[in-house]
């Protein structure tokens, strides 16, 4: 199947602290106000609550309010929607990434690398990667802190074409975030999209966004404005990626080892 262009609407919002109803309504308005023609919607990490460890009060099942809303957006806007939310499964809580297609097909990814402190204390780490095909593109989804760990993200056999990272990364480490986004794109010979938020939260952390797309050579394609709420479309095409991989098949020289979990 010939790949369609991916027209990714990156949504860079300011989020209300632990207010699911407000955030869902607010983000829907940002999507409605964007230019038309996108076929992917990318949201930040914990987009419906802000980055909080208050899992017992805010966690939802996979058929809860947040995911019902996401499925409605996917259908209404005929787009793949990705982000993460606080999920409960039995007695465990997860920072759960999701990828929902317009027909309702839903895939989940539980954040593998939990940030030290509150997240590691209250959440359970995931054990499985997520790679799937959409419109002729192989896509991988990771969440925020995962971006620091190249072995987990490693694309040795070119399993994926685009890496999407949903994040809530504070301004104090903004340079780290943008450097890692570029590095993951180069070493994995893939397009890389990173979506971050703006504003501040009740943990006294500030965010400037800097959401962006980087190509397979680490070249910046486009970057959203610092400190500004916006929803912007960034388009990528398959041919330049395939041409690059053919002309510079560096992936063939990667070491042939596999990731093996030692337990969580």
Instruction: State the catalytic residues.
Output: 45, 111, 144
**Using CA atoms, how far apart are residues 136 and 154, in angstroms rounded to an integer?**
21
Torsion sign across C-alpha atoms 183, 187, 192, 195 = negative
| Contact in structure between 175 and 142 (CB atoms under 8 Å) | no
Burial 10-39 (b: 16+ CB within 10 A, else e): bbbbbbbbbebeebbebbbebbeebeeebb
Rg (CA), the chain: 17
Closest CA to 166 of 51, 17, 7: 51
């Amino acid at each position: 199947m010939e790949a369609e262009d991916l027209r990714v609407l990156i949504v860079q919002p300011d989020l209300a602290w632990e207010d699911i109803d407000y955030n869902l309504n607010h983000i829907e308005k940002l999507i409605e106000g964007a230019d038309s023609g996108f076929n992917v919607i990318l949201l930040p990490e914990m987009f419906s609550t802000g980055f909080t460890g208050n899992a017992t009060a805010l966690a939802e099942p996979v058929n809860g309010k947040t995911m019902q809303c996401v499925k409605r957006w996917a259908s209404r806007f005929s787009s793949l929607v990705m982000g993460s939310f606080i999920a409960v499964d039995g007695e465990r809580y997860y920072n759960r990434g999701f990828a929902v297609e317009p027909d309702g097909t839903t895939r989940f990814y539980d954040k593998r690398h939990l940030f030290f402190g509150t997240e590691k204390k209250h959440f359970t780490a995931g054990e499985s990667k997520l790679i799937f095909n959409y419109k002729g593109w192989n896509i991988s989804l990771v969440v925020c802190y995962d971006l620091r760990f190249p072995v987990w993200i490693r694309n040795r056999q070119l399993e994926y074409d685009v890496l999407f990272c949903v994040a809530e990364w504070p301004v104090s480490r903004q340079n780290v975030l943008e450097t890692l986004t570029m590095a993951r794109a180069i070493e994995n010979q893939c397009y890389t999209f990173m979506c971050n938020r703006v504003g501040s939260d009740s943990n006294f952390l500030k965010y400037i966004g800097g959401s962006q797309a980087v190509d397979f050579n680490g070249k910046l394609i486009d970057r959203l404005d610092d400190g500004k709420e916006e929803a912007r479309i960034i388009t990528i095409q398959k041919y330049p990626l395939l041409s690059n991989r053919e002309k510079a098949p560096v992936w063939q020289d990667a070491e042939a080892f596999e990731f093996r979990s030692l337990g969580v």
